[in-house]
Structure 1
Amino acid sequence: MSLLITTLIIRILWFVSFASCYSRSLVDISNRYVVTLRPNTIIAEHLASVGRLNDDSYAFDRVSHNFTLGDFRGYAGHFSETLVAELKKHPDVITVEKDRVWQLQGLERQRRSPWGLHSISHRGGKTGCTYLYESSAGSGTYGYVVDGGIRATHVDLVGRVTMGYNAVKDRPFKDTDGHGTHVASLMCGTLFGVAKKCNLIAVKVTDAGGGSGAAVVDGYTWAFNDIVSKSRQAKAVINVSISGHSFPALDAAIAAAYKQGVSTVVAAGNANIDARTVSPASAKGAIAVAAMNTRRGRAKTSNYGADVAVFAPGTWVLGADSSTDGAGALRSGTSMAAAYVSGLVLYFKGINDLKDAAVTREYLIKTAVQGLVKNTAGSPNLLAYNGCGK
């Protein structure tokens, strides 16, 4: 007898130093830096003003990524210490950060659903196995999954996945560890998902669980520009189920996207610390999601604090896995909680006129149920809810 549940994975989605966990062949961030420029700086003019970048005798100093997102401007590259010192003094530059490796942290009735789906469709937030939702189910909406890729042929997702952009230039555009496929299935899977009829766009920024900060910002920038160029602000969300130490470049990109009407849902992080100290949960405009366990308490590893927007189910969450087209896995973490909320954002956008990020965030918080989560540790006591009246 075949089993749908093939693995049990409990992830701590946290980035660590390059030397401690990853070989150079996986993610090369040696002497790579991410530079954040003042808003609306013309990147070409700035680069022209940096002498070493225009001198062929300095072969090491080269730009690998350019970032333009709303008024956010920046770039990344492998730079010598001499150039880094020059950039820090440049009048166009706000920050110069050492790059890091990041890891992956009419009503319809679905019976025998995972407990997380039951929770977000019942006002009491209790565990059960029935998911109630309106039949529109996110039809005509778009979920951008900034993660490790998606197995587009999985039975829970097949026919609704577009392979959007691969920011990990030297790696194949596929999900190698299952995290992105799991997240995508919670957002929009036919069986496991909240918005069962939405469209998914894969944006690969990690591989085998790790990726550089430059790749994350690059992939996020691509997703933003795709949404804006296609006027999808009212019908799209970007999910970033990644967390790490404070990274101003990513926070600035998300804040700039918010000002342009683009909704971003992020994982609060799994280090049991205040979310204001990590990225991207601390980004202005981000919808940071903390994890609730099956006993309606804050998951013991979940980050917390005033920067959290809402809680959502985040332990023992059943979703799709990338190992085969029919595989499933149980995973825990704020990645899963964020994925549920991204699906909920798309569900709401499919049935309401939520024209931009500010209106969307306000509606999500207004709809959430108050006072159900135990041990919130100073976080707003709000549990994500789809408003189905049960």
Structure 2
Amino acid sequence: MRVTRTLRATVGAALTGALLLAAGGTASADQTRKDLWPLEAFGAQQAWQSATGKGITVAVIDGGFRKSHQDLTGQFVRGENFANTTQGDGSKDLAPGEDLRDHGTAMAGIIAGHGHGAGGSDGVKGLAPGAKIMPLPMYKNDAAATRYAVDHGADVINMSFVESPSADTCASIHYAVEKGVVVVAGVGNDGNSVKNYPVACPGAIGVGAVDEFGEASDANNTNSTLDLLAPGVKIPVAMGKSDSDYRTADGSSAATAYVSATVALLKEKFPDLTPGQIANRLVKTAGLPQAQKDKHLQLPDTHYGYGFIQPGPALRRDIAAGPAQGPLPMPKGEAPQEPVKAGADKGQDPDPPMGGKQKLMLYGAIGVGALVVVGIVIAVVVAMRRRNNTRTQAWG
């Protein structure tokens, strides 16, 4: 049964924003693989003949990770804990029955799960099983996590969450794309037209959910931040209380992870393409259901963006690289190399140089102060002389 709950709030106060996944009932490993419809829809077996994501690192900024899940062992590289938990593992701030690791584990599985059992035939297999996951548990520090990912070798950054932006949120994404790192973010599951962050930042590829029939989810936030659709309805994920649990989930969170996995495949096959040129391949090969084609939508559409991703054609089709910026909104100018201070996002210099008027005011204040000091010194000298004269008269 499809879960209707949207924008699942993260457990307790563990994350500032909302993780974009709603989880349903449990499932067995065998049933999980049978129900993993995106791999069949994508023609994954054929796509893997072109690329598996080998040599590509996908940084997943999320709540936490169960690295010991049977479908993910060995898939993690070193990350960093930007959360308020001891190890970013859900050790505190948890609601009853919740685990901070659930969401991050689910995203990691969609991207780079290898399954388990004979030939990895059971459980969750990711769309880019050859890729590695850089786990970055985060609490109120998405910008710091983004910069860390860039500086420590990430090729792709997955952001399956929405939150209130910090001064450095968009600047850090600018920094990432300038360094050649592709940033993918979810549009949110409010079912309205509100623009969320970090997806609203220029440079982020905005993703919404689509079902197995190619229809956009009613839960998607619909606005100009929606660039592409990917599977996000009835998705089997590695999630639960143990290393062998699974759930069925909905949301733009899962869709974001599928786009990040597709980017990993493209980065392996086309290592010289810029983030904008990677986006160009996704846009040029995106599809629409026949009903929407018949409507002759003007793309990008606020409900469909440019359409749903098609990894196989994106890998195989002969497509000119095109301009470095690509077809999606990109940040302009040079990215700040250091984190942006609060206030600077409104065009205000947090430590501005003094102008001429300010300097005159300062110099005037210094001059007045100097006169006051001189006056005090003179008064003290005069008083001392009078006192000495008095003393001479008394002792003479």
TM-score, with structure 2 as normaliser: 0.63
Deviations 1:141-169 (A, max 9, x none): 11111001221111211112124010014
Alpha-carbon distance in structure 2 between the residues aligned to 1:372 and 1:141? 34
Match 2:111 to one of 174, 184, 187:
187
Alpha-carbon contact 1:265-1:341 (below 8 Å) kept: yes
Between the aligned partners of 1:304 and 1:245, the Cα distance in structure 2 is: 18
Identity %: 23
Q: Deviations over 1:18-57 (max 9, x none)?
A: xxx95xxx45xxxxxxxxxxxxxxxxxxxxxxxxxxxxxx
RMSD of Structure 2 on Structure 1 (CA): 3.0
Mean Cα displacement is larger for which, 252-261 or 142-151? 252-261
Counterpart of 2:6 in structure 1 is: 12
Deviations 1:44-76 (Å, cap 9, x if unpaired)?
Answer: xxxxxxxxxxxxxxxxxxxxxxxxxxxxxxxxx
Q: Counterparts of 2:268 and 2:8 in 1: how far apart (Å)? A: 32
Q: Matches of residues 1-390 of structure 1 in structure 2 within 5 Å?
A: 12-13=6-7, 22=12, 26=13, 101-105=16-20, 112=34, 114-121=36-43, 132-135=46-49, 136-174=51-89, 176-177=99-100, 178-190=102-114, 191-205=124-138, 211-212=139-140, 215-227=141-153, 236-245=155-164, 249-274=168-193, 277-370=195-288, 377-387=302-312
Change in 2 beyond 3 A, CA 1:196/1:11: farther
Matched residue count: 278
- 8 Å Cα contact 2:187/2:208 also seen in 1: yes
Q: Is the 8 A contact 1:289 1:338 kept in 2?
A: yes
CA distance in 1, matches of 2:277, 2:248: 33
**Residue pair 2:233, 2:249 contacting (<8 A) in 1 also:** yes
Distance 1:12 1:171 in 2: 29
Distance 2:222 2:146 in 1: 24
Q: Normalising by the residue count of structure 1, what TM-score does the alignment of the two structures yield? A: 0.64
Distance 1:340 1:10, change over 3 A: farther
Which residue identity lines up with residue 132 of structure 2 in the other structure? N
Q: Which amino acid aligns with 2:223?
A: G
Decide whether the 8 Å contact of 1:144 with 1:223 is kept in 2. yes
SS in 2 for 1:278: coil
Q: Please say which structure displays the higher CA radius of gyration.
A: 2
Per-residue CA deviations over 1:213-241 (Å, capped at 9, x if unaligned) read xx2222222112212xxxx6xxx100000
Question: Could you tell me how far 1:8 is from its partner in structure 2?
Answer: 8.5
Of Structure 1 and Structure 2, the greater helix share is in 2
Shift in CA distance, 324/8, structure 1 to aligned 2, threshold 3 Å: farther
Single out whichever of 176-185 and 335-344 deviates more from structure 2: 176-185
1:354-389 superposed Cα distances (whole Å, 9 cap, x missing partner): 433122211222222245585964542411111258
The answer to which structure has the higher strand fraction is 1
The letter for the 2-side match of 1:218 is A
Listed one character per residue, the Cα deviations across residues 95-119 of structure 1 (whole Å, up to 9, x for unaligned) are xxxxx922212xxxxx846112223
**Structure 1 spans left out of the alignment, 5+ residues:** 1-6, 28-99, 106-110, 122-129, 206-210
The 2-side partners of 1:11 and 1:351 are apart by 38
Deviation per CA, 1:253-278: give whole Å up to 9, x if none. Answer: 21232122211110111112236x21
Q: Residue 88 of structure 1 aligns with which residue?
A: none
